[in-house]
Amino acid sequence: MHWRIPRSHPRYESLIVREMLVEAFMEGIVVPQGLIAHGRGEAFDYILGERSHPFALLAEEATVASMLLARRPVISVNGNYAALAAREIAELSRLTGALVEVNLFYRTEERVAKIARLLEREGARNVLGVECEKAQIEGLESPRGIVCREGIYAADFVLVAIEDGDRTQALRRAGKVVAAIDLNPFSRTAQTAHITIVDEARRATKNMVEIASKLKEADRGRLEEIVKNYDNRRVLAEAFKTMMMRLSEAAEKGIIIEVP
């Protein structure tokens, strides 16, 4: 920890998360570009009021139901996602039977190994990425397209978080159902995923752990119903509307934070 953040600080949670990312950066888990991406996410989260809205919970429920129904579900993990939610990712994988694979845009084998170790320390089993037969996702030049043959390559469902649009699109073109956690509903990732979770990655994964512990006992019919009734276009529209409403309210009032 570089400095002690007082618990009373009004933005304590957000500052703690920032510290977690800075530490992960020092350890070589997060790349500098990841810190920039986090800042972009924070800006959208500020507009959303830093909470999980009903449209996010709907997408989270559809993601968990899809994972439980999939034959080969995989959670794709990059540096930022691991730094923010390693324990929750491990728990979600345990509850849904999804494999965990480290998959990086800025890939070095050393960083893959570090992230896999972090995930395993937090309870994830058989993390893929280091020792696996490699395959290439079509449309992504190497090394950005390298995945594990028995992991993402063979998956029918992939959950990505804080991901770049090209990779999300390539996974979709490869025939996978893609769920994406992304605070920016304008991003190419948010716009191309089958299920878009407009929520902060750590909060979203915590929510999905809770949902999975309930849904794992549900019968297939109930899970299929959740997936069938899910409408991503509406969920994205609700995310934009919520942002717009919060912005219009602020635009009317001008001052929304009273000094105590």
Assess contact for 101 and 148: CB atoms under 8 A.
yes
Binding mask 155-174 for ligand ATP (x = CB under 6 A): -------x-xx---------
Which residues are 148's β-sheet partners?
134
Helix (H) or strand (E) holding 188: helix 188-192
E-strand stretches of 82-184: 99-102, 134-136, 146-148, 157-161, 177-181
Q: Is 182 in the site for ligand ATP (CB under 6 A)?
A: yes
189 binds ligand ATP (CB under 6 A): yes
How far is 177 from 232, CA to CA, in rounded Å? Answer: 13
200 binds ligand ATP (CB under 6 A): yes
CA distance 157 to 227: 13
Among the candidate windows 39-47, 48-56, 132-140, 145-153, which touches ligand ATP by CB under 6 A? 39-47
The window from 54-62, 178-186, 218-226, 235-243 that contacts ligand ATP (CB under 6 A) reads 178-186
Contact stretch for ligand ATP (CB under 6 A) within 37-45, 58-66, 118-126, 227-235: 37-45
- 143 part of the interface to ligand ATP, by CB under 6 A: no
103 within 8 A of 152, measured Cβ to Cβ: yes
Residue placing its CB nearer to ligand ATP in the complex, 41 or 145: 41
* Closest CA relative to residue 158, chosen from 81, 231, 224: 81
* Residue 18 touching ligand ATP (CB under 6 A): no
Of 23-31, 60-68, 179-187, 215-223, which part binds ligand ATP (CB under 6 A)?
A: 179-187
Tell me how crowded residue 191 is: count the other CB atoms within 10 A of its CB.
Answer: 17
Pick between residue 101 and residue 182 the one whose CB is nearest to ligand ATP: 182
CB 187 within 8 A of CB 44: no
Q: Point out which residues bind ligand ATP (CB under 6 A).
A: 37-38, 40-41, 44, 84, 162, 164-165, 181-184, 187-189, 200-201
